[in-house]
């Protein structure tokens, strides 16, 4: 093999102090802390045109951001839609996700919502119909309502925070859940604070 | 012998001169509106390949002064457009039909996306009533290219198709440049419309920041003044922003050492005392030492690619990082920026210059950088008993050409030798596939570069045997268009970089790396209608180079080089930059 160059060998070279973590942040080499993943809700106002949702979901896929939920719907402006994303990432990842989203040309603006923002999810839960009264009572406990009843099944609608839905799903489990659908989180800022 | 079906160049020229006197033909269709939009945006040259769904647009070109270069393969069209952009600074435009035409562009668009090159692709599409039916030559072009374009468009309205094309051009070249694509269904381009497209403009929501926040600039100025070992890092963004003059003046005024990234080559003259050349995996030892010992890295227009940083954990480990970039998403993406400055590279450097009250006293640091230059010279050995060394060939080409020469390359060992041993003094002279690492880039890039460069600037493609074979069909284009380019193949009958890695990391098991038979490239060149030479020995190099450069047309020199030669220095993938190996036993 040929092609070698002259000069002091690697071991002979002085190595500088310091170290970065895998996020590229300079750290105390003794501590080596890696940031923990956190949940964040991002709200993106986007142009209401074909391909936007595919672009947003494609971006999250190819950059390997963890999406917990994604919802999309129209706004009062027919040319604008709103996408709400719940993601779970270490802090630098949340920042990066926001910036990458903002970089998509059809995305108009992006905000990370405050932790006290209004967050709601809707679930339809279809359970076994053998005890409709009991099902109705549990639904009431969760401020839900029965929306469909048949010989075999009862379907209830529950709205609330993700945690509340989780709890309801667990409780309804004892009736035997046939099918379930959840919308994912929709969120808006409280009071006069604007979402985007 | 078949008859030539294209007119000789002289007649074509005469015809286009005649056309220039006539007023533009009126917009009558989506296709003519598309062409008018390109003309309005100042486009002069385009590269493409015909095909069913794009035929209306080609037909509209019949009446236009736009120069169209008919390429052999759509990938070549995209690379040619890419190189045209890098050399000229103007958007490069490529055309292709639907289906395979569009998918053949994909590699070129991904390449342009990685290197932030302003390339506009126009693709034909099946008529809208057939979209979604899996029609002949239908493919989901906007879906396929979404992740590798800055933005793409599906033009659905003949009245606005010209505006869309104009927007695609404007968006490609503004802010952080990048490729855009407009998918043109045949019913839209065929449809009648007399609506003139407006001037090319970016979408309202696209608002790149020009100037950095003044307070942040002050903070960086304080950091520069306090630094003991400040280092400037100029990336490709400095080239894109046309900021090389500002950047080098800044470096010289404050006498700060400079390293560049590979796409940033030429932003600082490589023979200047302050220039440590380029850093990274095969960068100079002195650039990599400086990177890892600086206490303030002032990075301008770079995305901290892994080939530059090596292992993130050990990259510039004791440095604060000031990062100037027009793309906010690059800030702290790979390397945390202690001082982010978002804005145009040239403008922000001017702001920083205004904010600085004096140069930091860094004589010792400059001296240290000089010491590293002396300790780690880029001096290859060329013993008499070994075959021709590629570095010698690169130096001979550099020697025989002017400072204005444009150099393109493929990807692999030859690319590294070309960038290491050619001394670049100006930006837009080193044209290569940096981020995507596309073998085969060099020849079509040379075609694009030739169309963009001035006549007195030589265009040299330093290619590898493997890279050359990937896009060799474009040689037919260079001959047909009589383009004066010199292709120097550093032929080691290997996919050389793979062979080097196999020796270093795979116990020398040369799986699918060597060619048991390789074409005689000098004869292949002659078969295409180009001139060809074969060179095996040192004493043949100078004559062949001179003859090839003097030949007014495409020429190919097949340099048979030492097949065992390796590229050094080398930072092993994920390693620390200051632990570069100088030979295989250090890996």
Please check whether residues B444 and B355 belong to one and the same domain. Answer: no
Query: Does B392 qualify as catalytic in the annotation?
Result: no
Residue B173 lies in a domain: yes
Q: How confident is the model at residue A195 (pLDDT cuts 50, 70, 90)?
A: confident
Asked if residue B499 and residue B398 are part of one domain, the reply reads yes
Positive or negative: CA dihedral A125, A131, A135, A138: negative
Could you give the ipTM of this predicted complex? 0.90
SS3 call for A178: strand
pLDDT band, residue A52 (cuts 50/70/90): very high
Give me the residues of chain B with pLDDT under 50, please.
1-4, 7-19
Residues of chain B in contact with residue A18, where contact means CB-CB under 8 angstroms, are 317-319
Which residue's entry shows tokens 């045997």?
A: B465
> Which residue of B315, B376, B565 is in closest CB contact with A7?
B376
Facing A3 at nearest CB: one of B151, B377, B566: B566
Over residues B495-518, the pLDDT tens digits come to 999 999 999 999 999 999 999 999
- Residue B200 within a domain: no
Residue B381 falls inside a structural domain: no
Domain positions in chain A = 37-112, 118-188
Q: What is the pLDDT of residue A2?
A: 60
Per the annotation, the verdict on B497 as an active-site residue is: yes
Q: Min CA distance, B370 vs chain A (Å)?
A: 14
The neighbour count for residue B24, using CB atoms within 10 Å, is: 15
Q: How many other C-beta atoms are found inside a 10 Å radius of the C-beta of residue A188?
A: 16
Q: Which of B394, B499, B563, B583 to mutate to test the interface with A (most CBs of A within 10 A)?
A: B583
What's the rounded Cα separation, in Å, for the pair B57 and B341? 43
Q: Indicate if B448 and B331 belong to the same structural domain.
A: no
- What is the model's pLDDT at position B23? 65
Q: Which of B47, B71, B74, B268 is catalytic?
A: B74
> What pLDDT sits at residue B22?
54
Q: Which fold has domain A118-188?
A: Alpha-Beta Plaits (3.30.70)
Residue where a domain terminates, one of B156, B190, B224: B190
CA distance B71 to chain A (A): 31
Query: Which CA distances in Å does B290 have to A16, A49, B274, B278, B469?
Result: 11, 49, 12, 11, 38
* Residue of A89, A91, A105 for testing the chain B interface, max B β-carbons within 10 Å: A105
B259 vs B278: CA distance, rounded Å: 5
Strand A107-112 with A37-47, pairing: antiparallel
Tokens of B100: 């395979």
**Residue among A24, A46, A52, A106 with most chain B CBs within 10 A, to mutate:** A24
Residue B18 counted as domain residue: no
| Cβ neighbours of B325 (radius 10 Å) | 28
Which among B136, B375, B404, B586 is annotated as catalytic?
A: B136
Catalytic site includes residue B137: yes
Is A191's Cβ below 8 Å from some Cβ in B? no
| B542-581 residues touching A, CB cutoff 8 A | 562, 564-569, 576, 578-581
Say yes or no for a CB contact (<8 Å) between A2 and B293. Answer: no
**B143 in contact with chain A, both atoms CB, cutoff 8 A:** yes
The closest CB to that of B567, out of A3, A55, A59, belongs to A3
Helix, strand, or coil (residue B77): helix
So what's the pLDDT on residue B264?
98
Q: A–B: how many Cβ contacts below 8 A?
A: 136
d(CA B89, CA B331): 25
Are residues B271 and B319 both part of a single domain?
yes
**Both tokens assigned to B582:** 């100088």
Residue A47: closest CA among chain B residues belongs to which residue? Answer: B205
Binning pLDDT at 50, 70 and 90, where does residue A22 land? confident
Question: Which residues, 6+ apart, have CB-to-CB distance to B320 below 8 Å?
Answer: A26, B223, B295, B296, B297, B338, B339
Instruction: Quote the pLDDT of residue A50.
Output: 86
Question: Between A18, A25, A59, which is nearest B318 by CB?
Answer: A18
Could you tell me the CATH number of the domain that includes residue B541? 3.40.50.970
- Same domain membership, residue B534 and residue B396: yes
Contacting residues for B398 by C-beta, under 8 A, at least 6 apart: B405, B421, B422, B423
Beta strands in chain A (DSSP E): 19-20, 26-27, 37-47, 67-74, 80-90, 107-112, 118-128, 145-149, 153-160, 177-182, 186-188
Task: Indicate the residue of B203, B205, B386 with minimum beta-carbon distance to A2.
Answer: B386
User: By residue range, what is the domain housing residue B533?
Assistant: 390-568
Which residues in chain B are contacts of A55 at CB distance < 8 A? 146
Q: Which chain A residue has its CA at the smallest distance from B585's CA?
A: A4
* pLDDT, tens digit, 9 for 90 and up, residues A93-121: 999 999 999 999 999 999 999 999 999 99
Kindly determine whether residue A105 and residue B151, on different chains, have CB atoms separated by under 8 Å. yes
If you classify domain A37-112 with CATH, what class do you get? alpha beta
Nearest CA in chain B to A108: B205
Q: Do B579 and A13 touch (CB under 8 A)?
A: yes
Residue A98 contacts residue A112 (beta carbons within 8 Å) = yes
Which residue, B91, B429, B84, B116, is CA-closest to B301?
Answer: B116
Number of neighbouring beta carbons within 10 Å of residue A33: 9
Q: CA nearest B79: which of B109, B113, B120?
A: B109
- Asked if B436 and B406 touch (Cβ cutoff 8 Å), the reply is no
Whether B336 is covered by a domain: the verdict is: yes
Q: Could you tell me if B284 and B277 are in contact, meaning their C-beta atoms sit under 8 angstroms apart?
A: yes
User: Looking at the structure, do residues B359 and B403 belong to the same domain, yes or no?
Assistant: no
- Token pair, residue B334, equals 């790979």
- How much is the mean pLDDT over chain A? 92
Of A1, A21, A58, the CB nearest to B584: A1
Residues 6 or more apart from A78 whose CB is under 8 A from it? A48
Is B317 at the interface with chain A, CB within 8 A?
yes
Distance between CA atoms of residues B300 and B258, nearest Å: 11
Q: What is the pLDDT of residue B9?
A: 47
Which residue would you say has higher pLDDT here, A33 or B484? B484
Read off the pLDDT of each residue in A125-133 and give the average, rounded to a whole number.
94
Residues B175 and B50 in one domain: yes
Among chain A residues, the shortest Cα distance to B587 is held by A10
Contact B321, B235 (CB under 8 A): no
Which one is catalytic: B71, B262, B497, B570? Answer: B497
Cβ–Cβ < 8 Å for B568, A4? yes
In angstroms, the separation between the Cα of residue A62 and the nearest Cα of chain B is 8
Which pLDDT score, from 0 to 100, does residue B128 have? 98
Q: Do A4 and B327 make contact, defined as CB atoms within 8 angstroms?
A: no
Residue A37: C-alpha distances to residues B28, B151, B345 (Å): 57, 30, 33
Q: How do residues A170-186 score in pLDDT, each as one tens digit? A: 999 999 999 999 999 99
Q: Whose CA is closest to B115, among B237, B297, B28, B295?
A: B237
Distances, alpha carbon B142 to alpha carbons A100, B55, B123, B311, B524, in Å: 19, 19, 10, 35, 38
Same domain for B235 and B371? yes
Identify whether residues B173 and B31 lie together within a single domain: yes
Residue of A nearest to B156 (CA): A50
The total number of structural domains that make up chain B: 3
- A89 near A97, Cβ under 8 Å? yes
Closest residue to A108, CB basis, from B151, B205, B338: B205
Nearest CB neighbour to B285, from listed A3, A7, A16: A7
* Same domain assignment for residues B239 and B126: no
- Please identify which of the residues B47, B150, B186, B470 carries the catalytic annotation: B186
Q: Which residues of A touch B334 (CB under 8 A)?
A: 24
Q: Which residue of A has its CA nearest to B290?
A: A16
Residues B150 and B105 in one domain: yes
B125 part of the active site: no
Scan for tokens 């020229």, then name that residue: B13
**B294 shares its domain with B370:** yes
B-proximal residues of A, 103-122, CB under 8 Å:
103-108
- pLDDT value for A32: 63
pLDDT 10s digits, B295-309 = 999 999 999 999 999
For residue B584, tell me if it sits in a domain: no
Residues of A in contact with B562 (CB under 8 A): 2
d(CA B408, CA A65): 36
Active site residue B579: no
Alpha carbon distance A102, B325 (integer Å): 16
Q: How much of chain B is in helix, strand and coil states, percent to nearest 5?
A: 40, 15, 40
């Amino acid at each position: 093999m040929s092609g070698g160059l002259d000069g002091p060998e690697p071991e002979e070279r002085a190595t500088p102090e310091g170290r970065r973590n895998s996020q590229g942040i300079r750290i105390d080499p003794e501590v080596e802390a890696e940031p923990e993943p956190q949940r964040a809700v991002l709200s993106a106002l986007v142009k209401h045109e074909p391909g936007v949702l595919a672009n947003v979901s494609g971006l999250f896929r190819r950059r390997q951001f963890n999406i917990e939920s994604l919802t999309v719907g129209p706004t009062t402006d027919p040319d604008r839609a709103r996408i709400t994303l719940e993601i779970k990432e270490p802090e630098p990842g949340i920042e990066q996700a926001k910036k990458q989203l903002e970089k998509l040309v059809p995305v108009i603006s992006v905000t990370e919502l405050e932790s006290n923002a209004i967050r709601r999810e809707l679930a339809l839960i279809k359970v076994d119909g053998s005890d409709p009264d009991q099902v109705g009572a549990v639904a009431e406990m969760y401020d839900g309502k029965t929306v469909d009843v048949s010989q075999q099944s009862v379907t209830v609608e529950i709205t609330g925070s993700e945690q509340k839905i989780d709890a309801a799903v667990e409780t309804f489990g004892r009736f035997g859940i046939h099918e379930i659908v959840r919308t994912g989180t929709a969120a808006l800022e409280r009071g006069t604070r604007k979402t985007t | 012998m078949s008859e030539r079906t294209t007119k000789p160049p002289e007649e074509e020229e005469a015809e286009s001169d005649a056309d220039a006197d006539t007023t533009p033909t009126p917009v009558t269709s989506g296709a003519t509106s598309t062409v008018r939009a390109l003309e309005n945006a100042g486009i002069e040259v385009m590269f493409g390949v015909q095909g069913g769904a794009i035929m209306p647009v080609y037909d509209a070109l019949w009446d236009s002064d736009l120069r169209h270069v008919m390429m052999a393969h759509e990938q070549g069209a995209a690379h040619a457009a890419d190189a045209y952009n890098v050399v000229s600074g103007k958007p490069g435009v490529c055309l292709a039909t639907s289906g395979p035409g569009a998918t053949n562009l994909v590699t070129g668009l991904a390449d342009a996306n990685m290197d932030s090159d302003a390339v506009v692709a126009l693709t034909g599409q099946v008529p809208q009533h057939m979209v979604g039916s899996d029609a002949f030559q239908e493919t989901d072009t906007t879906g396929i290219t979404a992740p590798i374009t800055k933005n793409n468009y599906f033009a659905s309205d003949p009245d606005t198709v010209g505006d869309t094309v104009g927007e695609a051009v404007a968006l490609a070249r503004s802010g952080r440049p990048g490729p855009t694509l407009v998918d043109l269904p045949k019913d839209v381009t065929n449809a009648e419309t007399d609506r003139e497209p407006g001037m090319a403009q970016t979408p309202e929501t696209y608002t790149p920041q020009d100037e950095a926040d003044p307070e942040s600039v002050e903070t960086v100025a304080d950091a520069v003044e306090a630094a003991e070992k400040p280092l400037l890092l100029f990336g490709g963004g400095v080239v894109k922003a046309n900021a090389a003059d500002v950047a080098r003046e800044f470096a010289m005024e404050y006498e700060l050492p400079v390293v560049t990234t590979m796409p940033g080559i030429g932003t600082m003259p490589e023979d200047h005392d302050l220039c440590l050349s380029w850093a990274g995996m095969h960068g100079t030892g002195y650039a990599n030492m400086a990177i890892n010992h600086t206490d303030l890295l002032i990075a301008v227009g770079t995305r901290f690619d892994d080939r530059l940083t090596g292992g993130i954990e050990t990259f510039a480990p004791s440095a604060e990082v000031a990062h100037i970039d027009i793309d906010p998403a690059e800030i702290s993406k790979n390397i945390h920026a202690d001082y982010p400055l978002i804005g145009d590279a040239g403008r922000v450097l001017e702001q920083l210059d205004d904010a600085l009250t004096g140069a930091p006293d860094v004589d010792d640091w400059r001296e240290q950088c000089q010491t590293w230059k002396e300790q780690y010279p880029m001096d290859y050995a060329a013993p008499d008993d070994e075959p021709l060394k590629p570095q010698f060939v690169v130096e001979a080409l550099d020697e025989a050409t002017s400072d204005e020469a444009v150099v393109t390359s493929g990807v692999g060992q030859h690319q590294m030798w070309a960038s290491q041993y050619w001394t670049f003094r100006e930006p837009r002279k080193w044209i290569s596939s940096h981020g995507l690492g596309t073998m085969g880039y060099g020849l079509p890039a040379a075609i694009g570069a030739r169309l963009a460069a001035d006549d007195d600037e030589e265009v040299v493609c330093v290619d590898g045997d493997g890279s050359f074979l990937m896009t060799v069909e474009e040689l037919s284009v260079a001959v047909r268009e009589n383009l004066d380019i010199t292709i120097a193949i550093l032929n080691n009958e290997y996919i050389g970089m793979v062979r080097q890695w196999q020796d270093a990391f795979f116990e020398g098991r040369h799986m699918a790396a060597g060619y048991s038979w390789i074409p005689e490239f000098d004869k292949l060149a002659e078969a295409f209608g180009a001139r060809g030479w074969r060179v095996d020995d040192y004493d043949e190099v100078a004559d062949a180079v001179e003859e090839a450069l003097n030949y007014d047309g495409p020429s190919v020199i097949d340099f048979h080089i030492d097949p065992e030669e390796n590229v050094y220095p080398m930072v092993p993938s994920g390693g620390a930059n200051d632990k570069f190996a100088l030979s295989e036993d250090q890996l």
